[in-house]
Amino acid sequence: MKRVLITGAAGFIGFHLARKMAERGDEVLGLDCINDYYDENLKFARLAELGIGEGARDPGREVQSSRFPGLSFVRAGIEDRRSMEGVFSHRSFDVVCNLAAQAGVRYSIENPRSYVESNVVGFLELLECCRAAATPHLVFASSSSVYGLDATRPFSPHSGAEHPASVYAATKKADEMLAHAYSHLFRIPVTGLRFFTVYGPWGRPDMAYYKFSEAILEGRPIDVNNGGDMYRDFTYIDDIVEGILRVADRPPSADPSWDPSRPDPASSSAPYRIYNIGNNRPVRLGDFVAELEKLLGARATKRYPPMPAGDVYATEADVSDLERDFGWAPSTPLGEGLDRFVSWFREYRGEAGKAR
């Protein structure tokens, strides 16, 4: 049993991770500010699925799960220094999993300050708490977005990723740099995970697969950017969670072969590692839409706008480090994962759609 803090626990990935860790018997405290970037009802529905009731709406109140004896939840944001210090003053953690973030590439162009506040200032507050508590392992969510304008595929964590194409990507790259500095200065074992286009049940309504599904079933047109000629390394949520679990259970150590004259961005003389978690099977957007239409049993009315600012043409994960160090890599086929999402989506719309 591990004592675990999961930030962003009402979010898509955080919810799935909290459930999995609670099921295996870990003692889990979930945190989430529950902002209104997308429908709060979905976030509270995720919490209800974890057995976290109405008390979750009250800021600062710890609510015990009715389903999992070792799981509790507090509504708080990581950028709130007082709340974070309070959490760490009352208990210690074997692992901290930071999945809290202001998400979304395009929204970051319109609201850059909210990204810096949550993703940079909030992450700094969490790092300070981990430093003061001598946390044995911090795992944090980065993103494939950090690769930005890099056209060399598959994307490797050993490349510099120095040219982010959005404010969101820049804040995630800043997190990696801050994490390394704290690992170097204070010897905090830190692992960063670059996620690639995560999808699945209980997913985010701002993601293309969710928006497409809603529009197709409601008879509204969908925007298929760049004529569908874009590629994404869609990664199923269960694979993402399995990767986090494997990484969380094994804190990194300093790399004895790390050479400062030829520095490897994915490792360090500090206990620090960066890994990609992606399916390593990029799918053309047009083909993705066709698969979704087949599973939904409906045809989409399509519009074809150009590729939006901040987007990139293709993503593809090099997961060889994950395979080498953990003997594992994501493997869920797109058709199987999308079928599970569609089944959940139909059920959720039937039960909760009219309330949204």
- List active site positions: 168
Place of tokens 């000629």: 229
The phi-psi region of residue 297 (left if phi > 0; otherwise alpha if psi is between -120 and 50; otherwise beta) is: left
The count of other CB atoms within 10 Å of the CB of residue 344 is 14
Q: For residues 111 and 116, what is the distance between their CA atoms, to the nearest angstrom?
A: 9
193: enclosing H helix or E strand: strand 190-195
Q: Find out whether 198 and 12 touch, Cβ atoms under 8 Å.
A: yes
Bond before 154 cis per omega within 30 degrees: yes
Helix or strand run (H / E) with residue 222: strand 222-223
Please state whether beta strands 71-75 and 27-32 pair in parallel, antiparallel, or not at all (unpaired): parallel
- Tokens coding 152: 């060399």
List beta partners, residue 232: 283
| Amino acid occupying residue 341 | F
Instruction: Decide if 56 contacts 71 (C-beta within 8 A).
Output: no
Cα dihedral: 201, 6, 184, 194 (round 10) = 0
Question: Considering only CA atoms, which of 94, 100, 50, 42 is closest in space to residue 76?
Answer: 100
Q: Which residues pair with 275 in a beta bridge?
A: 193
